Amino acid sequence: MPTVRTVNRPESLSVFLDAGKLGYPIFRGVHVSDPDDPALASSFRSHYELQLPPRKWEKELAIVHMGVSFFNDAAQVRRLCRSFPKTVGEYVARVELVSNEGVNFALTAAKGHLTVWGDPVTLAQRVVEISS
Amino acid sequence: MNYVIFDSTANMVDSFDREEEARATLAEIIEREPNTAEDYVIATINDSGHIVATISGASVVDAEQYA
């Protein structure tokens, strides 16, 4: 299980290339309740993929602009979802990453927060549960 | 404590060690993108990885207006 300390604006960042070694599920707010909904992949798009211009930190770090946020604790995502369903999503997706699917990750910003890079369809296919 | 700005894509926009910096940055973003305050939130995350408070973009704008 990766244990690299995360801080804001680090001079360097450890990117883990084998997502299968993460060793625990990760969670993210999504806007659909059905894992088989084709629209689910849209909930796994980065700002870059959505063609949103980089803002602030994203101007300095393409890895932030091109990454997708996750938490390692469903309770944290659920709290955000309940407070801001429009912003974060109405539902919580549990994702279990595996090796050899072109997905990478890093521990970023705050403890429990991860940035993940990967094809949105691939990430959506790794959703094992969606809860409210 | 960490102060992480998220937007309506549920992705991180920026992250800070100080709440004042996070608020100022979000106020600046919203000023450049009018009518988007509802699209942003600042999550206050403690050293254990728990979200201990949330700050809406709208409340940041209100605070700026009355400052």
pLDDT confidence of residue A4: 47
Q: Give this prediction's pTM.
A: 0.89
> Residue A115's closest CA among A100, A130, A124, A105?
A105
Helical packing angle, B19-32 and B57-66, nearest 10°: 90
pLDDT score, position B67: 64
**What SS3 class is residue A73?**
coil
Mean pLDDT, rounded, for A102-125: 94
What are the pLDDT digits (tens) for A43-57?
999 999 999 999 888
| Structural domain boundaries in chain B | 2-66
Quick: pLDDT tens for A75-108: 999 998 988 887 788 999 999 999 999 999 999 9
- Contact yes or no for B30/B61 (Cβ under 8 A): yes
Nearest to A29 by CA among B7, B27, B61: B7
A124 and A21 Cβ atoms separated by less than 8 Å: no
Distances (CA, A) of B27 to A29, B42, B60: 24, 11, 6
B11/A68 touch (CB, cutoff 8 Å), yes or no: yes
How does strand A91-95 pair with strand A26-30?
Answer: antiparallel
pLDDT in tens, B5-20: 999 888 999 999 999 9
Which has the higher per-residue pLDDT, B55 or A60?
Answer: B55
pLDDT tens-digit readout, B7-53: 988 899 999 999 999 999 999 999 998 889 999 999 999 999 999 99
- Count CB-CB contacts under 10 A for residue A5: 8
Q: Minimal Cα–Cα distance from A88 to chain B, Å?
A: 4
A interface with B, Cβ–Cβ below 8 Å = 7-9, 28-30, 43, 45-47, 50, 52, 55-58, 64, 67-69, 71-73, 75-76, 79-80, 83-84, 86-89, 108-113, 115
Nearest CB neighbour to A87, from listed B15, B17, B41: B41
